Structures are given as C-alpha cells and as structure tokens.
C-alpha cells in the first residue's frame, strides 16, 4: 500500500468512526454530539476519499446506508418502500453542478425525446423536522413509522394519530388497497417557545431547537404528552400502486410532483404552500435566494430548499442510487454562527433546586438580535464542551430562536486557562448537590436554600400567576436577604415599616406595593394553582387541572387516593402525576396551603364578579384571534376572558377562526381575516358577546 493510499485509509477509518458515532447519538439516543454543518463537512470528506479510492469503501461506511439505526424503544417496522435521503448542495454553484449532471444523464438516456430537454423543476422548502412514513389501507391510516435506517423504522402509529393535520381516513372515493405518504412532522416555532417557557418555569432542561424537541416528542411512550405538544405535519410525496385505476375516484392519478402535492391537499393533507414550479435553473436560484431572506418570517424552522424534477416520467428515467434519488437535491442554507469571547459562567439555582450553568460572553448579533448569554443546560453538556475561562466560543441560534454554545476554538486557548467545572456544592447555600442516576439535572435539596425561595417567589409574583406589579427580582432579593420573607405566605404579612427600611422605598411606593400584594388574593383558581410552582405543571397544565379539580382540597384528596384520575386528563402523563403526588406529600407544602387559606386565599373556583354562572360558557368552542392594541384590555386579559367563557385563542387566522378581535394598529391578520370572511369585532362588540 503506497503512502498516499495508506494516509487515505487511516483518514477514512477515522471518519467512519466519527460519523457512525454521530449517527448513533442523533438517531438512537436523541442526543446530537456535533452540529449539522460539521457532520456534513466530515461526510463530504469521506465521500471524496471513497471516490478517489473505491477500494476503501466498506460495508459499515455511512455512505453505504440510508440513515441511522432504528431505536429499540419502539417496535420496529419494515418500510414497504425505502425512505431514501437526499443528496445535499451547500450553495448555488453546487446546485448548478447537479443540474448539469442530470441534464447530461437525461440526454444520454433519451436522445430522441425532445420533451425531456430542459425539464421543468419544482422547488419546495426543506422543513427542519422529522421524516415520517404513513401507510393507508383502503383509505384508512394503519401504520406510521420514523425513517430509522431507511429500510426499518420505529412504529409510532399511536403518537402520529394525535397530530390533527394527519387524516385518519382519506378524502378519496374508491381508494386503492394501499397508499404510502411521506412527509415531515415538525414543531411550530410558537409551540416550541411556549414549551421551553413551561419547561423553564418547571425547572426542566430546555430543548435545543424545534427539530430535536419534535424528535423527542415523537418518541414519547405516552401519547397524551405527544398530543399536548401540538406537532404539525406537511405531506410532500405520494406512492400509489402502479395498476391503480382511478375509475369512480374523485381525483386523477398524479403524473408529476406538482400534481402529487395537489392530490395530497385534495385527499386531506396539509401541504406546505410555498412550493413553486420553475421553468429553468435560474428561476430555482431565485427561489433559493428569496427564502434565504424570508425564512425568518415563517412559523416553522427551515434549513434550505429541495429542488426536484417535476415530471414522474423523467424521475423514473433518472432513478436513484442506493442512497438518494438522482432527480432531487436539497440545497441547504448556511447556519449563522459567530465567534465571541467567553466572559464567565453563572450557575443559577431554580425554585426546584435545579442548577443550570449559563454562559455570559461578549455581545454579538445573531439572526437580527443582540445576544450575550446562553444556557448550557446541565453538567453533561458543560463537560462535553470542555469549556475553559476566556475561551473563544462559537455561538448560534438553535432553530434560529434560542442561543446556544456549539463548540470551542481550542487553538485560541491560552496555556494557563482554567477548566470550567460544575460545582459540588450549591452556589447559594453551600449544601452538597446531588444528581439522580436517571436524571440529567443536578439539584440542591436543602429546603431552606434562599435561591430556591427567591425562584419560587419570582414565579409566584409573575404575570402568569399573581401578577404583582412592583415586586421585581431586586426587591425579592432584599426581602429574602433581610429575613422579612421566608415563604410565599410571608409576602402577605409584610408591614409598611419593613418595606421602608429597603432601598428605593418611600411611603407611597410601599403602600402601593402592599395594595398590589393584597389584591392578588382574588386571582382565579388556576393562577393560584400555577403560582404554587408544582414541578412539571406549567400554565396550560394548571388550567387543565383547575377545570377538573375545583379546589386545592379536591386535588389533594385525588393525589392521595385516586391519582389515576390525574394521568387520565388529556395531555397529562405519569411524570406530572408523580410530581403532584410528591408535592402534596411534602409537609412544608401542606403548611403553605394552611397559611394561604388563613390569610384569605380561596384556593378554589370562584365566579368572576362581572359574569354570572349562565354566562361562563357563552363562547363555548369559539375560536378567537387577537390583533392590534385594545382600548382597555391587555392581550392577556382578553385571552383570559375568552378562555373563562369557554372560548379558545389561536395565534393565526384560518377558516376555523370565528372572530378576529381587532384593536388599533392591526397588522396583517386583519387583511387575512377579510380575505377569509372571518367576522371582525372591536372591543365594545367583544364585551357585548360576553
């Protein structure tokens, strides 16, 4: 073996090991080790070596299989039709090279067929989600599976049935014996943000981006959890039996990708509306450049576009390699990443005792916003980054939403730099930290930890719970540090003399704060429940609990004697049930309940004084969308009134919207409502409805 071949042999061996390990972490463990651009770079290097030396191609090379390994957590299912992946291009030049290759191939295969010259293209956005295969038999959904390794995936039929945009029965007369649909399951950006806010409020690790949170959701064993996360789905390809005769059927059998997308829409699927047919490559390039700028305005994450030959006849002519179709290519957008200097690491202690490392660094601009800090999630993530103080780090916005530190440029590290180590003791109270073997979270379990108390108080006074204006973080810190407040109940025992001893307090501001605190006793039951800070119970979960259990006593009894009634609530699982049971088992929480009731909290349902019991469900099932600035109500106040009256609030206009509540400076939602014929009302008309 000559020296050049030997060198390539060793490098190919190293790349195979790196890529196979990365595939396993990504597909099996749901714990990505390296970011996509790095993976793509390593993969391309391996392909180049194998192209130069075909003798170095081995059976275990990532180039010789379709994807990752199917997880053993679910029943495996074999795909009737393999899920091929797509070859990637990373700029317009590589797209042009692909087009030149297939044009040459078409010409060599069909020298006499004129209509095959300059074939029409179709461009679609590449949704950053998870590929799903759906099988329908006689028009009814019978099987749903993940990609897995392309030949064998995981059976997630029960979870997929919870996605409302996937029909259980096709809108197709006389369907064939089977139809297979391919598409992308994804988590919309607003749902992702809301989920991470709830996880932050319940001291759980944040999801890195919408794609990973979608993957984790699809692999939940409890379909109620899947349903609560409101995943969505875009269908993008269709497979029908070759001998299917569309006699007496309501739709014609497609002969192209564009017709296929229309067919999918007609039979009940949601199809991404941004696709366009293009007559030539120049138009496809324009589509790519347009969405590179406009993608930030979308309600979901996209990491590129997919360009396909439109006609099935030409697709069949071109065929596929063992890995990817020749007639399609994914053109990826470069991820926005920037280097900056790490300044310090803060270890934050949440109200449950969870300790979270947060990196603070020199401010940089990412995706249009200024960023100077990012969570590092937990001790495992901190360790994997191998961070040293004053390191130069690479930061990007995960899913273009949440900043994350993705790697360190070790070449810029100074010789005497110190490793950032996770503390052994609580940064606030110096108690020994613990980490359960089954959890990634490191916790302080000292019940008297002041940091936990401060976190719980911040949660209690927040907008979603008691909404006590004027009681911010600095004042909470002073009250706890001075020993005036040792529990939530102590807030309601404060006297004006104590407040006047604190910085920045005069008699008027102290009186105003005491009034705000006292008035918070009248908040709705679900806000009181949410404010208690039960682990894993976010705002939406607290609302669901309050509708099913009408007082703290009732919930307490259910938790002790019939906890299955909790896990039977739509969207709840064993984790939430166990958290509620453990919370009520804690004697300090039982003391808190007694103290709150003694100072005037109802901790139960009470009718809003503005509406009698006959009015509570006047908006039952009606869907509202809010836009603009209302005269006397905030968005949150209007939303609460709607939900208390049985209605629902959506973030986007559709044909299912019943009312658009419109105020001053209404935006694009007003125009869309007019186009769809949605009833538009102002604040006065809204009050009349109530």
Catalytic machinery residues: 126
The dihedral sign for the CA sequence 381, 385, 388, 392:
negative
CA atoms within 13 A on the CB side of 358: 15
- Please report which helix (H) or strand (E) contains residue 354, including its range: strand 354-366
Distance CA 302, CA 186 (A): 10
Q: Dihedral angle at the C-alpha atoms of 613, 616, 617, 618, nearest 10 degrees? A: 100
Distance CA 538, CA 199 (A): 7
Distance CA 36, CA 31 (A): 13
Distance CA 15, CA 539 (A): 46
Q: Residue 269 gets which letter from DSSP?
A: -
Q: Residue 211 gets which letter from DSSP?
A: H
- Angle, helices 574-585/552-561, rounded to nearest 10 degrees: 110
Distance CA 288, CA 571 (A): 39
Distance CA 653, CA 659 (A): 9
CB atoms within 10 A of CB 252: 11
Q: Phi first, then psi: what are they for 363, rounded to 5°? A: -60, 135
- Please report which helix (H) or strand (E) contains residue 358, including its range: strand 354-366
Distance CA 331, CA 191 (A): 27
The dihedral sign for the CA sequence 297, 300, 303, 304:
negative
- Do the Cβ atoms of 159 and 224 come closer than 8 Å? no
Provide the token pair at 435.
């980490």
- Angle, helices 473-481/450-461, rounded to nearest 10 degrees: 140
Helix intervals (H) in 409-506: 450-461, 473-481, 496-500
Spatial CA neighbour of 19 closest among 87, 68, 56, 81: 68
| Bridge partners, 167 (sequence order) | none
Helix (H/G/I), strand (E/B), else coil: 224: helix
Provide the token pair at 100.
């030149």
Provide the token pair at 540.
């939406």
- Do the Cβ atoms of 330 and 98 come closer than 8 Å? no
CA distances to 83, 370, 402, 418 from 344, in Å: 45, 18, 19, 12
- Do the Cβ atoms of 330 and 126 come closer than 8 Å? yes
Distance CA 578, CA 592 (A): 20
């Amino acid at each position: 073996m000559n020296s050049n071949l030997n060198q390539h042999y060793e490098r190919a061996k190293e790349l195979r090991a790196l890529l196979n390990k990365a595939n396993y972490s990504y597909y099996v463990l749901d714990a990505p080790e390296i970011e996509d651009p790095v993976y793509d770079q390593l993969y391309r290097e391996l392909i180049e070596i194998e192209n130069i030396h075909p003798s170095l191609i081995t059976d275990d090379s990532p180039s010789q299989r379709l994807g990752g390994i199917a997880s053993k957590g679910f029943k495996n299912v074999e795909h009737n039709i393999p899920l091929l992946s797509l070859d990637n291009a990373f700029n317009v030049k590589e797209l042009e090279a692909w087009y030149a290759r297939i044009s040459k191939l078409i010409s060599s295969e069909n020298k006499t067929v004129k209509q095959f010259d300059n074939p029409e293209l179709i461009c679609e956005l590449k949704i950053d989600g998870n590929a799903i295969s759906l099988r329908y038999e006689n028009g009814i959904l019978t099987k749903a599976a993940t990609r897995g390794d392309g030949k064998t995936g995981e059976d997630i039929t029960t979870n997929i049935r919870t996605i409302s945009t996937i029909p259980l029965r096709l809108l197709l007369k006389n369907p064939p014996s089977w139809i297979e649909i391919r598409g992308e399951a994804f988590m919309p950006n607003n749902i992702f943000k809301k989920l991470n806010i709830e996880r932050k409020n319940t001291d759980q690790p944040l999801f890195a981006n919408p794609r990973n949170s979608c993957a984790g959701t699809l692999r939940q064993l409890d379909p109620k959890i899947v349903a609560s996360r409101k995943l969505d789905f875009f269908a993008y390809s269709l497979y029908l039996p070759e001998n299917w005769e569309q006699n007496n059927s309501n739709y014609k059998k497609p002969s192209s990708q564009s017709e296929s997308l229309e067919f999918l829409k007609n039979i009940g699927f949601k199809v991404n509306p941004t696709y366009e047919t293009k007559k030539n490559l120049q138009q496809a390039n324009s589509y790519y450049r347009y969405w590179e700028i406009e993608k930030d305005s979308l309600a979901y994450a996209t990491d590129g576009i997919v360009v396909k030959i439109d006609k099935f006849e030409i697709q069949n002519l071109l065929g596929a390699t063992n890995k990817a179709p020749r007639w399609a290519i994914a053109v990826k957008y470069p991820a926005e990443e920037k280097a900056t200097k790490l300044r310090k690491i803060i270890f934050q202690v949440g109200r449950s005792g969870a300790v979270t490392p947060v990196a603070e660094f020199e401010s940089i601009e990412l995706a249009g916003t200024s960023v100077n800090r990012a969570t590092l999630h937990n001790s495992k993530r901190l360790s994997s980054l191998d961070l040293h103080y004053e390191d130069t780090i690479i930061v990007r916005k995960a899913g273009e939403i949440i900043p994350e530190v993705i790697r360190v440029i070790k070449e810029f590290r100074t010789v005497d730099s110190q490793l950032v180590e996770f503390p052994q003791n609580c940064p606030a109270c110096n108690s020994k930290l613990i980490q359960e073997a089954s959890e990634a979270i490191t916790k302080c379990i000292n019940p008297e930890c002041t940091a936990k108390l401060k976190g719980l108080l911040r949660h209690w006074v927040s907008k979603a719970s008691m909404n006590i204006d004027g009681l911010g973080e600095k004042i909470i810190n002073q009250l706890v540090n001075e020993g005036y407040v040792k529990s939530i109940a102590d807030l309601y025992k404060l006297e004006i003399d104590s407040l006047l001893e604190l910085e920045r307090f005069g008699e008027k501001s102290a009186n105003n704060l005491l009034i705000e605190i006292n008035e918070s006793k009248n908040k709705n039951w679900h806000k009181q429940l949410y404010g208690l800070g039960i682990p894993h119970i976010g705002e939406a979960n607290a609302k669901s609990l309050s509708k099913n259990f009408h007082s703290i006593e009732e919930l307490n009894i259910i938790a002790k004697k019939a906890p299955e009634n909790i896990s039977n609530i739509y969207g709840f699982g064993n984790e939430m049930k166990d958290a509620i049971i453990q919370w009520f088992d804690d004697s300090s929480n039982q003391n808190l309940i007694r103290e709150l009731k003694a100072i005037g909290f109802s901790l139960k349902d009470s009718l809003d004084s503005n509406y009698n019991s006959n009015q509570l469900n006047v908006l039952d099932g009606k869907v509202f969308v809010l836009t603009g600035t209302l005269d006397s109500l905030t968005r949150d106040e209007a939303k609460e009134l709607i939900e208390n009256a049985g209605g629902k609030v959506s973030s986007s206009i559709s044909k299912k919207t019943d009312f658009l509540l419109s105020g001053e400076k209404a935006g694009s939602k007003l125009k869309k409502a007019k186009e769809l014929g949605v009833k538009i009302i102002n604040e006065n008309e809204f009050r009349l409805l109530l």
